[in-house]
Amino acid sequence: MNGIVGLSTVELSGAIATGEVSASGALEAYLEAIDKLEPQVHAYNEVLVDHARTTATEIDAARAAGRPLGPLAGIPIAVKDNMCTAYGKTTCSSKILANFKAPYTATAVEKLHAAGAVVIGKANLDEFAMGSSTENSATKATRNPWDTARVPGGSSGGSAACVSARLAAAALGSDTGGSIRQPAAFCGVVGLKPTYGRVSRYGLVAYGSSLDQIGPLTVDVSDAALLTAVIAGHDTRDSTSADRGVEDYLAEVDTPIENLRIGLPDEFFTDALDPGIGEAIARAAGLYKDAGSEIVNVSLPHSRIDADAEGNLSSYAVACYYIVAMSEASSNLARYDGVHYGHRGEKDVEGIVELFSRSRAEGFGPEVVRRIMLGTYTLSSGYYDAYYNKALKVRRLIKNDFDRAFEKCDVLLCPTSPTTAFEIGEKTDDPLTMYLADIYTISVNLAGLPGVSIPVGLDAGGLPVGMQLIGPPFSESAILRAARMYEKISGVTRLVPEIART
């Protein structure tokens, strides 16, 4: 593996700041890696070579002139292709936006620019962020760098694969029900979903507006702390953005939490969990305990996960989430009508209704269509109270469960996913089984909490296992510090797949 792409973001930033490495040199190292591995991984929708080279040249010139550099100066970063950029395309991996060029740049990406980052490309995703495997993309199916016959997770699978295969130093993803954390677990990287409102959603193409949140995917916890500090903060252009200051997460991340109380949710450790993952999480809890942390059992009754005699999983949280998310998707995607922008189905069309219908039928993939139809149904007259309003009440009960749990502990520890990465095509014919890939993550979005997934090692088949740490609202510093504690006491950090070692 090239020495430059083997560095963390924090290390590479330091090397560029001192002149040991130039921004242009770092970029070319990553472009070389992309040339070599992208045909196998399919992580990018678009590699922004010219834009990236121009930015890197400007960073080098600024350093040579003695001008101050930002904390991410010269760092090649991938951006999920559902975040608007005034350069390149913003497609959401959908035919309906195949040629869309945004007129502005998302706030989170603007903050990357302000910090000196080099946006190297737009990463693939499940269409409109609807999926758990990145197989729903209209462009390609991204492959897991640990085993290219397996999925990278979703919907931020392209972002996670970029970081895992060292095709970018770090990446931004979005998380509506686990779309940062689950692919982070599958690909052996760190993925943080901040508190709802911690990072501006301005310029993020909306899926579930009360659930979506932008966050980083990185090779280790320190890098996640750095990127979170850069992209977090209030934005007047986003009415859901929290008006509160941003902590220096990187400065705090190496400070252990004394007398840390770690809660294990009883409902998450059932027959629904793969035994190997359960053992890995138990070992992690044991390491925390040996390091002086207190392990306590807590209950999240409305997030309980059950398995029947045939192994089928069920959960109040899953049912609640998919009603809320699909209802919001139905509303948000109504704007794609073939008139304002996006794909327009004009061939043999008579009248505006047929234009709308043809444009949407040709532009949306089957999973997006499924979610729009189900969301429209739950919001329709006669069903609104029976489904949507009831789901909102369950959502409040889920939030109350977390509030009570945090009276007994500082952070919650649980699996990120019930399994490791599954094979491509394994679950595409069974959408309900696919939805359950996020069974441990969706309740965090329903409650608006921060959660981070970190790798805890490999399973018997050599695939990464992810562990999730969840905290109260705006406790990003605490969960990052707890995650960093695990890296130190376990030595499990910066996992590199074989494909990226040669």
Catalytic residue among 22, 24, 80, 453: 80
CB 182 within 8 A of CB 418: no
Helix ranges (H only) for 88-170 are 107-114, 157-164
Count other C-beta atoms under 10 Å from residue 11's C-beta. Answer: 17
CB 441 within 8 A of CB 182: yes
Catalytic site residue 80?
A: yes
CB 405 within 8 A of CB 265: yes
Catalytic residue among 8, 133, 174, 179: 179
The DSSP 8-state label assigned to residue 258 in this structure reads T
Catalytic site residue 303?
A: no
97 Cβ contact list (under 8 Å, min separation 6)? 89, 90, 91, 336, 342, 343, 363
DSSP string, 208-256: STTT--EEEEESSHHHHHHHHHHHBS--TT-TTS--S----HHHHTTS-
Amino acid at 20: E
Q: Distance between CA 164 and CA 184 in Å, rounded?
A: 9
The DSSP 8-state label assigned to residue 295 in this structure reads E
CA distances from 399 to 89, 224, 300, 404, 442 (A): 37, 26, 9, 9, 12
CA distances from 184 to 104, 174, 193, 346, 429 (A): 28, 12, 11, 41, 24
Q: Up-side HSE of residue 106: CA atoms within 13 Å toward CB?
A: 30
Catalytic residue among 24, 93, 133, 155: 155
- Phi then psi for residue 131, to 5 deg, are 160, 170
CA distances from 67 to 17, 59, 170, 317 (A): 11, 9, 24, 51
Catalytic site residue 179?
A: yes
Angle subtended at Cα 84 by Cα 334 and Cα 170, rounded to the nearest 5 degrees: 130
Q: Burial letters for 76-93: b for 16+ Cβ neighbours within 10 Å, e otherwise? A: bbbbbbbbbbebbbbbbb
Burial class of residue 286, CB neighbours in 10 A (0-12, 13-18, 19+)? exposed
CB 225 within 8 A of CB 250: yes
Count other C-beta atoms under 10 Å from residue 309's C-beta. Answer: 5
CB 246 within 8 A of CB 233: yes
430 Cβ contact list (under 8 Å, min separation 6)? none
Q: Up-side HSE of residue 87: CA atoms within 13 Å toward CB?
A: 17
Q: Which residues are catalytic?
A: 80, 155, 179
